[in-house]
Amino acid sequence: MYNPIHHKYRPQTFADLVGQDAIAQTLTNAITTNRIAPAYLFAGPRGTGKTSSARILAKSLNCISSHQPTPAPCGECDVCQGIANGSTLDVIEIDAASNSGVENIRELIEKAQFAPVQCRYKVYGIDECHSLSGSAAQALLKTLEEPPHNVVFVLCTTEPQKLPNTIISRCQRHNFRRIAIEPMVQHLRAIAKSENIDITDKAVWVIAQLAQGGLRDAETLLDQLSLLSGQITQEQVWDLVGAVPEQELMELLDAIAAKEPQSILNLTRAILDRGKEPMVILQNLIEFYTHLLIAKTSPQNHELAQVTQLTWESLVKKANLWDTPEILEGQQHLRACSVQVKSASQPRLWLEVALLGLLSKTAPMAAQTHPPAPSSASQPNNLWKAVVAMQPPAIKALLTQHGTLAAFDGTNACIQMRSAPLQQRVAGDVAALEAAFGKVTSHKVKVTVTS
């Protein structure tokens, strides 16, 4: 049976842990000096080594090739092999998501009272411990505080904030961080060399970037890419995960900075025509705005942005063309539009509207260039709200976000949109707009749409 890469290259000693040097050193020293805590809490994002560290700890405490606990278990003795394949009676792994009841915990506590059968220590690993019910967590409290002799509990969680403080305070906590790109790239290169996977260096960097600090995700993606024929390139990586390549996002950013609506539409449609989902494009661009903000405010800290070196250098240069408030407003605008793109029946249209809406962030407002006709301040505003409210959902949202009533003299209404493509989109619904104005004013009104 095929052994996946993330299983085959799972760390077997603390020295094998990638990107968790402080935790590895702390646990190594604890074992060397025989200062073993009765309970540990391993907290951090998925794929950062929590469960692997729990298994290494169990092996280190019980490896029979050494006369005492060792930070470097052999991995070959019966106990080490038994822990690896889950057959050892004294090392129990429990998934709290499917064993969250108080009955499961009481059974575990009862078994913990008995002496180990094969090993020096009984080790109980509780994965996703935040899923324990309230009564189950309460039942575990006393045992965590005063466990039986030679019993160690290891609690693993991706959401430590959901754990009761009474549980956290009884454990020695270790926070696993997302793994930096550089050590992850080195690890992936070593795997590729060992497995004879032909992959370019840029492709390895893209894999590490897309993994978002999760080593297991990176190894799984490399495993999947190894099934392709020929040399693996960065373009193949982007296509496989369905994300937008950095170069295309950079071109889109250039078009936005240059205020070129036609270029924005052409680039967006080209990306969409290659099968990318509108929501994915929007999410990738929001993330890219975050990288641009980092490049603007902290150009010396490349490690804060999950992009390649070449892209980072380009972002630092382009950041000079943007003001910090403009970047923040653009990102907030895209986040607000993501709700509409996600729920709309025409997500492609709303993606284009969202991107074109970025052009208005520094453009003069329509009301400043086309003041309304003299009347009471509230009348045109109320009239406009009433007309917009009578439109279909798609046009209503367009007018609310990107349109203004620039002029109204009682018989003629001028609606100004913030860009030419939006003006063309609304111009097709002039008849419905004139009907709405007629209902509100009780007489015929001619509507024109400008940009």
- 3-class secondary structure per residue, 395-439: HHHHHHHHEEEEEECCCEEEEEECCHHHHHHHHCCHHHHHHHHHH
pLDDT at position 361 is 53
Which residues of the chain register pLDDT less than 70? Answer: 360-380
Res 189: pLDDT: 95
**pTM to 2 decimal places:** 0.71
Query: Which residue ranges does the chain devote to CATH 1.20.272.10?
Result: 246-361
CATH topology classification for 181-241: Helicase, Ruva Protein; domain 3 (1.10.8)
Burial of residue 251, with CB atoms counted within 10 A of its CB: 0-12 exposed, 13-18 middle, 19 or more buried: middle
For 72, the 3-state DSSP assignment is coil
Query: So what CATH class is 366-450?
Result: alpha beta
Every domain of the chain with CATH number 3.40.50.300 lies at: 5-175
Q: How far apart are CA 140 and CA 144, in angstroms?
A: 6
Query: CATH assignment of 5-175?
Result: 3.40.50.300
**Could you tell me the end-to-end alpha-carbon distance of the chain, in angstroms, rounded to an integer?**
64
Highest CATH level, class, for 246-361: mainly alpha
- Show the tokens assigned to 269: 């449609």
The pLDDT score that the predictor gives to residue 207 is 93
pLDDT at 149: 84
Q: Where in the chain is the domain with CATH 3.30.300.180?
A: 366-450
Question: Given this model, what pLDDT does residue 362 score?
Answer: 45
Distance CA(102)–CA(376), nearest Å, equals 68
